[in-house]
Amino acid sequence: MWHLAGVAYDPVPIAAFRHAHALPKTFGVAYFQPKDFTGLASIDGAGAHLQHLRNELLGALPTTIARPLLLAQCEALAHDFAQRLQSINVHIGLRESELGFAVAGFSDFLQSWAFAQWRAYAQHQPPPTAAQVYAQWLSQSVRLEGSAHAYAHANATWQVWVVHDLYGRAGLLVDTGTARHAVADPVYSCPANAFMQGLLCALADALAARLDSA
């Protein structure tokens, strides 16, 4: 789900949108905002190192966590992640600013998840799953990037915006003049997205399993 200017959108896949509107295969994020891959970091050759990082983070968690110490444990985990990510960065090639961005996102998600646990506990409600918190957390980062692009189609001129989330270009918001459509386009899908989602949800699930009942 995307939230843009107070409106909730359930994005449709780019292929389905093209088919529904008889659009060419060139219609998509790459047409409106092509990506320059020069000098970008890559996790393609770092799979074993990233799996090792994941295993180490999970293996270092205490067997039991007192509920009042949950936030402190999340902060310690973020510090541990920062050090371990730095140690394998020679295999990834992140810039210093990108390292900081990754650590900040890691920490921010865990804090969001911890606060969600506290709210549920205080209200005597079942806590949300890590996947639910992650989806909401990521949706909060969705935004329109840049100004609208004019696109001529079927005797009309559409207005098209590129939509970004925490990991980069996520799709399009298309105003046909009669309706607005949210369109998910994974052409520039970031491999780090899937890794970080899996890592963060696994850690949150492990933390939840270790929380005492007090």
Instruction: Write down the residue that tokens 């003049």 correspond to.
Output: 177
What stretch of H or E contains 194? helix 191-210
SS3 12: strand
Specify the pairing of strand 143-153 against strand 156-165: antiparallel
**How far apart are the C-alpha atoms of 114 and 160, rounded to whole Å?**
37
SS3 65: strand
**How far apart are the C-alpha atoms of 172 and 188, rounded to whole Å?**
12
Instruction: Write down the residue that tokens 């074993």 correspond to.
Output: 48
Q: What is the residue extent of each domain of the chain?
A: 2-35+142-188, 47-138+191-210
pLDDT, one tens digit per residue, over 6-33 is: 899 999 999 999 999 999 999 999 999 9
Q: What is the DSSP string of 88-137?
A: HGGGT---HHHHHHHHHHHHHHHHHHHHHHHHHHHTT-PPPPHHHHHHHH
Instruction: Write down the residue that tokens 């799953």 correspond to.
Output: 129
Whole-model pTM: value is 0.82
Q: Which residues pair with 157 in a beta bridge?
A: 152
Q: What angle do CA 97, 75, 138 make, to 5 degrees?
A: 60
pLDDT, one tens digit per residue, over 170-205 is: 999 999 999 999 999 988 877 778 889 999 999 999
Nearest-Å Rg of the Cα atoms of the chain is 20
Instruction: Write down the residue that tokens 């905002």 correspond to.
Output: 33
The tens-digit pLDDT sequence of the chain (214 residues) is: 898 888 999 999 999 999 999 999 999 999 999 987 655 556 666 789 999 999 999 999 999 999 999 999 999 999 999 999 999 998 888 888 888 989 999 999 999 999 999 999 999 999 999 999 999 999 889 999 889 999 999 999 999 999 999 888 999 999 999 999 999 998 887 777 888 999 999 999 999 999 986 5
Closest of 107, 150, 112 to residue 131, by C-alpha: 112
